[in-house]
């Protein structure tokens, strides 16, 4: 018999946060989230998205043992933009048991139905910086810091429950040239002059950039990403969550922030040092000693993850992305880093794929979200 228990106590929350470590024990491809991030998800004092949205977490028990977890969340802004009544499922991990799948999904469907929702879809987080989608290809590839790993049975069982494919992404591995492309460098320098843009990292620290240009960064991010599937503008205090998630692991060498003559963020590119090996070793804990490995990975990275790249509408088709990419690739080549992997890129987002046409890449993973009407 499957028992579903709603998160009520601190003990429940700790069990919820720790469960994936148990499920993926011995799996070399799984990368744990930061345990603190998992705990903060349900804390309105830490997760500012909860001020305007709802979330409820559940644990599944079978014969007295925890066998799964799931969270249901309602993003009212997305529903308003989409004109639909949808509940998202997130933090979904469980054993390969169709009855456990039914029970966990059913708990989110009931939560959604009670709040007037008509559709269930996911895995989605609160916004585009959260982990999203289930693997459909690349099960023998290690996840990244920003993505979920999932066993093949997840997609199979969701389809058995009547879910259909929704959004689809691919992830690429880049073949980094040993030497920078001098033609691109010359083009980048000419474009800087023509477009009247300058690189903030030449004169400011990441902390200074966040302080002086944080709001302008989100203006450009929201403008550049607004057309993407289920993208929700990052506004108000929710910005603090994103900044705390990424700013702490940014290495200035591998980011680019361009400002124009009006001191607006014209474009940006963010490549993060991979902290995956450190997280695997510490099982997602920063303390008491996990932070040491994380800091080493940030300061002296051996692997990198392409996180975000965005351009203001007025600079589209100007070649400004060449300035961003040239700056970052030069640093990668200079520090002899050979492994760069992208985070998910929507399959139908041709603009993002075109940006990498001059570099040899290999599609190493694919993932997608699933959707169906609520049946309660």
CATH number for 347: 3.40.630.30
Q: What is the reported pTM?
A: 0.92
* Full domain range(s) for residue 350: 175-364
Residue 74, CA atoms < 13 Å, CB-side half-sphere: 22
Q: For residues 325 and 194, is the Cβ–Cβ distance under 8 A? A: no
159 and 181 together in one domain: no
3-state DSSP call for residue 22? helix
15 and 103 together in one domain: yes
302 and 182 together in one domain: yes
21 and 101 together in one domain: yes
Q: Where residue 234 falls among pLDDT bands split at 50, 70, 90? A: confident
| Partner residues linked to 267 by β-bridges | 258, 311
Residue 128's pLDDT is 81
183 and 120 together in one domain: no
Residue 236 has pLDDT above 80, yes or no: yes
Tokens of 234: 């990052």
Count other C-beta atoms under 10 Å from residue 186's C-beta.
11
137 and 37 together in one domain: yes
What 310-315 contacts at long range (C-beta under 8 Å, 24+ apart), as own/partner pairs, is 310/220, 310/221, 310/223, 310/224, 310/225, 310/267, 310/268, 311/220, 311/224, 311/266, 311/267, 312/220, 312/223, 312/224, 312/264, 312/265, 312/266, 312/267, 313/223, 313/224, 315/195, 315/260, 315/266, 315/267
106 and 148 together in one domain: yes
Q: Where residue 187 falls among pLDDT bands split at 50, 70, 90? A: confident
145 and 191 together in one domain: no
Strand 65-74 relative to strand 361-373, pairing:
unpaired
Residue 243 has pLDDT above 80, yes or no: no
Tokens of 264: 């607006």
Tokens of 249: 């692991």
19 and 159 together in one domain: yes
233 and 151 together in one domain: no
Query: Could you read off the pLDDT of 71-103 as tens digits, one per residue?
Result: 999 999 999 999 999 999 999 999 999 999 999
327 and 226 together in one domain: yes
221 and 93 together in one domain: no
Query: Could you read off the pLDDT of 244-277 as tens digits, one per residue?
Result: 767 778 999 999 999 999 999 999 999 999 999 9
Torsion of CA 184, 190, 196, 201, to 10 degrees: 40
Residue 201's pLDDT is 95
- Domain count of the chain? 2
Element (H, E) at 305: strand 303-311
The stretch 126-130 carries a mean pLDDT of: 84
């Amino acid at each position: 018999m499957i028992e579903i228990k709603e998160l009520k106590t601190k003990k429940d929350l700790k069990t919820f946060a720790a469960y994936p470590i148990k499920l993926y024990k011995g799996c070399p491809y799984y990368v744990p989230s930061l345990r603190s991030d998992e705990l903060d998800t349900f804390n309105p004092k830490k997760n500012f998205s909860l001020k305007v949205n709802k979330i409820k977490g559940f644990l599944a028990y079978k014969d007295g043992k925890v066998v799964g977890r799931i969270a249901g969340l309602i993003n009212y802004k997305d529903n308003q933009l989409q004109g639909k009544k949808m509940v998202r499922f997130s933090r979904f991990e469980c054993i390969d048991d169709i009855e456990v799948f039914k029970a966990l999904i059913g708990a989110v469907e009931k939560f959604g139905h009670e709040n007037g929702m008509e559709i269930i879809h996911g895995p989605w987080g609160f916004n585009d910086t959260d982990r999203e989608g289930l693997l459909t290809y690349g099960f023998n590839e290690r996840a990244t810091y920003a993505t979920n790993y999932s066993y093949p049975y997840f997609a199979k069982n969701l389809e058995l429950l009547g879910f259909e494919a929704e959004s689809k992404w691919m992830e690429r591995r880049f073949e980094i040239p040993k030497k920078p492309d001098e033609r691109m460098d010359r083009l980048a320098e000419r474009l800087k002059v023509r477009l009247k843009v300058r690189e903030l990292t030449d004169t400011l620290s990441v902390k200074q950039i966040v302080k002086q240009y944080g709001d302008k960064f989100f203006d450009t991010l929201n403008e550049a990403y607004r057309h993407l599937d289920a993208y929700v503008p990052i506004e108000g205090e929710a910005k603090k969550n994103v900044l705390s998630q990424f700013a702490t692991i940014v290495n200035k060498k591998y980011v680019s922030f361009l400002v124009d003559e009006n001191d607006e963020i014209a474009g940006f590119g963010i490549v993060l040092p991979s902290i995956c090996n450190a997280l695997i070793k510490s099982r997602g804990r920063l303390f008491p000693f996990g932070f040491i490995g994380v800091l080493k990975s940030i300061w002296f990275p051996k692997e990198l993850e392409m996180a975000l790249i965005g351009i203001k509408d007025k600079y589209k088709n100007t070649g400004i992305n060449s300035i961003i990419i040239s700056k970052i690739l030069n640093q990668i080549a200079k520090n002899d880093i050979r492994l760069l992997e992208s985070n998910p890129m929507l399959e139908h987002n041709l603009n993002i794929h075109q940006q990498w046409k001059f570099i040899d890449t290999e599609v190493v993973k694919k993932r997608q979200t699933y959707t169906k009407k609520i049946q309660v």
